[in-house]
Amino acid sequence: MPKISDKGQNMPASPIRKLVPFAEQAKKNGIQIYHLNIGQPDIETPKVMLDAIHSYPAKVVEYSHSAGNESYRRKLTGYYQKYDIALDYTDIMITTGGSEAIEIAMMSALNEGDEVIIPEPFYANYNGFSTQASVKVVPIRSTIDTGFALPPISEFEKLITPRTKAILICNPNNPTGYLYTAAELESLRTLVQKYDLWLFSDEVYREFCYDGKKYFSVMHLKGIEQNVVMLDSVSKRYSACGARIGALVSRNKELIAAAMKFAQARLSPPSFGQVAAEAAIDTPDSYFENVKAEYVARRNYVVEALNAMEGVFCPKPSGAFYCIARLPIDNADRFCQWLLEKFSFEGKTVMLAPATGFYSVPTLGTDEVRIAYVLNLDDLKQAMRCLQEALKVYPGKTEIVSQEMKAAH
C-alpha cells in the first residue's frame, strides 16, 4: 500500500475538534452538551445577507475574478475607511475564508524553512497553515498572569535569527480575547522596521472590542506599509461562518501579485458567499451595537462565574468572544474528555477546548481551557453550573489556588 506524504503525516489534527467523537457518543447516550469549545456564534446572521442570497438574480452561477468580485472589493474599501484604513480595491484579494488568506499569505511571503514568530497561546490552525507552507513557527509565550499581554519586544528580539522573516499576531486575539494596544503594535512596528520583517495580522474580531477600548490595526502603522499583511473574514463579524469569505489585504503590490498566482490556481472564491458578504456591508450599526452588548453580558457572566469557582482564575478579555481559564486540574485534555465520557449533571455536560492545543508544545496549558462564550445567557448559566459541579468531583483535581493568590491577579 502506498504511503501518504511526510507533510500529510505531519499535518496537525485540530485540537478543537478532536473531542467530537466523545461528544457524539455522549449525545447518543442522551446527555445534553453545551458547546463552548468552538467559535460558532448563535447570533443571527444579518437579514440583509440572507436576503441577498434569496434574491440572487443571475441564471448561471459563474466564476468570479480570482481576486474576487470587483464590486465587492470596491465596497470593502468603504468598510475599511470607517476604521481609518485607506485602501485601493486592488489592495484586497478575496479568499475562501480567512484560513485561505493566511495560507496564501505565508506561501507568498515566506520560503521553506523560514521562521515566523507567533505569540502563544495562538489559534491552533496556525500550526497547520505553517506546515502547509513548510515554514517554522517560533512561539513567544504570553501568560495568563499578565492577561496574555504582548511579551516585551526585547523577548521577541532574542528569537530573531537569519531565518526569521515574519511575525504573526491575532488582534483581538483568539484564543485569549486579549486586545493589543496601539503602544504594543508600535513596539512591533519598530522591530519589523529594524529587521525588515513581514507583519501578518489576523483581525477578524475587530467589531468586538469592549470596555471602551479601541481597535488599532497594523494598517495604521506608519513606515512599514510595504511589510504589513492584514487577514480578514466575514465569519465572525456577521455570524456567517459558513459563507467562507475572507480577505488578504496589503499595500505591497508584489505580495498581492504573488498571492494572485495562488488564487488563480483555486479559480475563484465562493460566488454566493461574495454576494452575501457584499450585501453585509450595509448591515446597520444597530446590529453590531446589539451583538456587542450581548457578548459583553455573556463575557461578564462567564468570567465572574469562573472566578467565583474555587481554584479557578480567568482574566477578563477585552475583545473577541473567548477566554482562557486556569482550572485546578491535572491535565486539560484528560479533563475535557472526562467531561464527555464520565460526567453529567442533571443529564447535562459541557464541552471545552483544552488549551494545550493552542500552545507549541503539549506541556504548556495543561491546566488551562479555552471557553467560547457563544451561547445565550441561559445556556451559559447551565454550562457554568455543570463546570462547577464537575470540578467538585473530578478525580484529577489538584490543590486549590488560594484566594489570596487569586486576589493578587
Kind of pairing, strands 92-95 and 246-249? Answer: antiparallel
Asked if residue 272 and residue 178 are part of one domain, the reply reads yes
Which helix (H) or strand (E) segment holds residue 132: the answer is helix 125-133
Confidence bin at 14 (pLDDT 50/70/90): confident
Confidence bin at 67 (pLDDT 50/70/90): very high
Asked if residue 238 and residue 387 are part of one domain, the reply reads no
Per the omega criterion (within 30 degrees of 0), is the bond before 121 cis? yes
Q: Does the pLDDT at position 245 exceed 80?
A: yes
Q: Where is the domain boundary, 253, 280, 307?
A: 280
Tell whether 1 is covered by a domain: no
Kind of pairing, strands 198-202 and 228-233? Answer: parallel
Q: Which domain holds residue 330?
A: 6-44+286-408
**Residues 248, 237: Cα–Cα separation, whole Å:** 16
Asked if residue 318 and residue 187 are part of one domain, the reply reads no
Task: List beta partners, residue 351.
Answer: 35
Spell out the SS3 assignment of 38-72.
CCCCCCCCCHHHHHHHHCCCCCCCCCCCCCCCHHH
The pTM for the full model equals: 0.94
Tell whether 145 is covered by a domain: yes
Cα–Cα distances (Å) from 212 to 249, 318, 372, in that order, read 27, 9, 21
Asked if residue 295 and residue 174 are part of one domain, the reply reads no
Q: CATH code at 170?
A: 3.40.640.10
pLDDT, residue 401, reads: 47
Q: Does the pLDDT at position 408 exceed 70?
A: no
Asked if residue 76 and residue 27 are part of one domain, the reply reads no
Contact status, residue 187 vs residue 169, Cβ threshold 8 Å: no
Q: Where is the domain boundary, 216, 246, 280?
A: 280
Asked if residue 27 and residue 139 are part of one domain, the reply reads no
Asked if residue 339 and residue 233 are part of one domain, the reply reads no
Of the candidates 164, 178, 166, the residue with the CA atom closest to the CA atom of residue 121:
178
Considering the chain, what percentage of its residues have pLDDT values greater than 90?
91
CA angle 250, 222, 122 (to 5 degrees): 60
Confidence bin at 403 (pLDDT 50/70/90): very low
- What's the rounded mean pLDDT across residues 40-50? 95
Tell whether 197 is covered by a domain: yes
- What's the rounded mean pLDDT across residues 232-253? 97
Q: Where is the domain boundary, 252, 280, 308?
A: 280
| Helix and strand totals (H; E) in the chain | 14, 12
DSSP 3-state assignment of 364? coil
Backbone conformation region of residue 150, classed left if phi is above 0, alpha if psi is from -120 to 50, else beta: beta
DSSP assignment letter at 214:
P
How far apart, in Å, do the first and last CA atoms of the chain sit? 56
Tell whether 199 is covered by a domain: yes
Q: CATH code at 291?
A: 3.90.1150.10
The order of strands in the sheet holding 246-249 is 92-95, 246-249, 228-233, 198-202, 164-170, 115-120, 136-141
Tell whether 338 is covered by a domain: yes
pLDDT tens digit string along 320-376? 999 999 999 999 999 999 999 999 999 999 999 999 999 988 799 999 999 999 999
pLDDT tens digit string along 136-192? 999 999 999 999 999 999 999 999 999 999 999 999 999 999 999 999 999 999 999
Q: Does the pLDDT at position 407 exceed 80?
A: no
Burial 306-319 (b: 16+ CB within 10 A, else e): beebebbbbbebbb
- Residue 53: φ, ψ to 5°: -70, -45
Which helix (H) or strand (E) segment holds residue 136: the answer is strand 136-141
Asked if residue 145 and residue 85 are part of one domain, the reply reads yes
pLDDT, residue 12, reads: 83
pLDDT tens digit string along 274-315? 999 999 999 999 999 999 999 999 999 999 999 999 999 999
**Residues 93, 108: Cα–Cα separation, whole Å:** 13
Asked if residue 290 and residue 276 are part of one domain, the reply reads no
280 Cβ partners below 8 Å, 6+ apart?
A: 46, 48, 49, 52, 234, 238, 240
Q: Does the pLDDT at position 8 exceed 80?
A: yes
Tell whether 318 is covered by a domain: yes
Contact status, residue 113 vs residue 135, Cβ threshold 8 Å: yes
- Looking at the structure of the chain, the number of domains it has is 2
Asked if residue 252 and residue 291 are part of one domain, the reply reads no
- What's the rounded mean pLDDT across residues 75-87? 98
The set of cell numbers assigned to 121 is 497561546
Asked if residue 114 and residue 78 are part of one domain, the reply reads yes
Tell whether 253 is covered by a domain: yes
Contact status, residue 178 vs residue 319, Cβ threshold 8 Å: yes
Asked if residue 247 and residue 124 are part of one domain, the reply reads yes
Tell whether 134 is covered by a domain: yes
